[in-house]
Amino acid sequence: MAGKIRSNKQSKRFNLKVLRALAWRVLLYFLMVTVLWVLAYRFINPPITVLMVMRNVERKADGKAFKIEKDWVDLQDISTAIQRAAVAGEDQLFVHHAGFDMKAISRAYSSNKDGSKVRGGSTISQQTAKNVFLWPGRSWVRKGFEAYFTILIELLWGKERILEVYLNVIEMGDGIYGAEAAAQAYYGKSCTELTRAQAAMIVACFPNPLRWTPLHPTRYIRHRQYLIMQNIRRLGPLKF
């Protein structure tokens, strides 16, 4: 009897040891794959994102045709107007923080906890990590992965690459991704030629580009455009 109890204890210790070893191995593989993935995208432009795939699944379910309009443009060729508009409208501390705006996160948490209108505290870095590496959603699991990838891109990419990727992959309309596709769709010109007012109008629609469009701006969107233009003047040139 004593031998059987001892055998059971040894078996449990063995199982725990195997599980720990397996968990460490899975964690190691995860770290290796994700670090290499992020490092690769420092030099390779992301060809497609999970959001683009999901949007087209939704389009197919609605009987619509496949649609992804995007055209990569290097940061130095993107109008400084839309670079500054994106920072002014989405993340005014972008060049200063290390991926997270703790004050904005705290304000968003307090607002959402009080039952007020749901608001986000995501920085451009967080939005880039979410758009490139993850799926849409608000679960804590996804938020955890978002924080992890945000730290990685801040460490491995730097601010200029983050802004470049952000302005090339973010959703800017139905099937429209990136500044170049948006500029062509809404103003019939390249993103290199956008004026400050046009750039601010595009960015004003970022929170919900499937609901709002620069082609038919609501009073609320025009007000956002005005505020973004004011912030552009206040922030001045971007200094990475």
Q: What percent of the chain has pLDDT over 90?
A: 71
185 pLDDT tier (thresholds 50, 70, 90): very high
Token digits for 32? 């290796």
Mean pLDDT calculated for residue range 21-35 = 92
**pLDDT average, residue stretch 219-237:** 95
d(CA 136, CA 92): 23
Q: Which position has the token pair 């992020």?
A: 38
Residue-wise pLDDT for 61-73, tens only, equals: 888 899 999 999 9
Q: Give the percent of the chain with pLDDT over 70.
A: 87
pLDDT beyond 90 at 87: yes
Count CA within 13 A, CB hemisphere, residue 160. 9
Strand, helix or coil for residue 25: helix
Residue 14 pLDDT > 70: no
173 forms beta bridges with 176
The correct CATH number of 45-235 out of 3.90.870.30, 1.10.3810.10, 3.30.70.270, 3.40.50.670 is 1.10.3810.10
The domain locations on the chain are 1-44, 45-235
Region 14-23 average pLDDT: 78
| pTM, to two decimals | 0.87
Query: For the residues 6-22, what does the mean pLDDT come to?
Result: 69
- CA dist 133 and 61 (Å) reads 24
Rg over CA atoms, the chain: 22
Question: Could you report the per-residue pLDDT of 34-63, keeping only the tens digit for each?
Answer: 999 999 999 999 999 999 999 999 998 888
- Residue 60 has a pLDDT of 87
